[in-house]
Amino acid sequence: MIITLTANPSLDRTVALSAALAPGEVQTAASVREDAGGKGINVTRVLRGSRIDSTAVLPLDPADPFGAVLSGARVPVIPVEVAGVARANLTLADPDGITTKVNLPGVTRSAADAAALVDTVVEASVGARWLVLAGSLPPGLPDDFYVDVVAAVRAAGGEPPRIAVDTSGPALRAVVDAAHPDLIKPNEDELAELAGVALDASAPFPEQVAAIARSLVPARVGAALVTLGGAGAVLVSEAGAWHGTPPPTTVRSTVGAGDSSLAGYLIAESRGASPEECLRSGISYGSAAAALPGTQAPTPADILPGDVPVRALPRA
């Protein structure tokens, strides 16, 4: 079982444009779709599609139509009753797969909402293999909210789940500084911000990312899966570092690709795969998501043909 927490869920509305985005102009939409979104929900959807047991914990107003969208997507959830509907995020995707996102902040959550979320996650995580803390925090929750979740889960007794974190900014910094998660999944910019360094355009990209990740692994995190968009991903653990490149991909929407990469990694890890195979699986699922419109969850049938080469990265 893998439990996910989405503290700030969203109704993801994707508009496919018939031409490149032209700011200030009136344009025609080729199509539109709506998906139940939020990073943890996306991870659960991908895991379930690959027959890995997963349940999503999230705040949900009983009167929110978002619940019907979740039900239609067959996402198993443990809802925490709150007031206020989920935010709606807008994605504009042009024919070349270039996406423009507008994310709303979400409903302000109270201290009581935070406490209820923590209690529900603790209960749901009993016996779980992983707990995935994913996405931005809504207004009202402190930057160290994920730290509180990790502390409560680890203090609950028994064998706690491993902790994977996919967030950014102050929330990521807080959980890395205080909670030592087992896995983080930043992109290269989020990693550089976390480490307090600037990326050097003149240096080899994967090697540079691996060096930055090694400044955190294993002292502050167990491992780092760093997604690099079209350049693939880098995995750094105490055992080593690897870079993988994706198969040829016709990008239709990048929304949810990083979430699918994390899910792909967890799918392989849950089946006892090697670090190289976990990285390969993460890249395969991320590429498959990028080739699908909207925020669709790729299944094994969506994995793109072509090799995903993985190479070991030496220490500098």
Domain boundaries, the chain: 2-312
Instruction: Extract the tokens encoding 202.
Output: 């003149």
- For the chain, which ranges sit under pLDDT 70? 294, 316
pLDDT the model gives residue 315: 81
* Angle (CA) 78 84 90, round 5°: 90
- The helix/strand/coil state of 268 is helix
Ranges of H-type helices in 4-141:
39-49, 66-72, 111-124
Return the pLDDT at 147: 98
| Angle separating helix axes 145-154 and 169-179, nearest 10 degrees | 30
Contact 203, 181 (CB under 8 A): no
Rounded distance between C-alpha atoms, residue 27 and residue 34, angstroms: 19
Find out whether 184 and 261 touch, Cβ atoms under 8 Å.
Answer: no
Q: Which residues are catalytic?
A: 259
Per-residue pLDDT, 214 = 96
Contact between residue 234 and residue 206 where contact means Cβ atoms under 8 Å apart = yes
CA gap 155, 13 in Å, rounded: 39
Residue 49 · residue 299 · CB < 8 Å: yes
Q: What type of residue sits at position 49?
A: G
Vertex 203 angle, CA 199 and 206, to 5°: 80
CA dihedral 232, 3, 115, 136 (to 10 degrees): 20
- The pair phi, psi for residue 152, each rounded to 5°, is -65, -40
pTM higher than 0.75: yes
Cis-peptide into 170, omega within 30 deg = no
Is 2-312 CATH 3.30.70.20?
no
Residue with tokens 């994920």: 146
CA diameter of the chain: 58
Do 284 and 266 touch, CB atoms closer than 8 A?
Answer: no
Across 254-277, b (16+ Cβ under 10 Å) vs e yields: bbbbbbbbbbbbbbbbbeeeebbb
Q: How far apart are CA 279 and CA 238, in angstroms?
A: 15
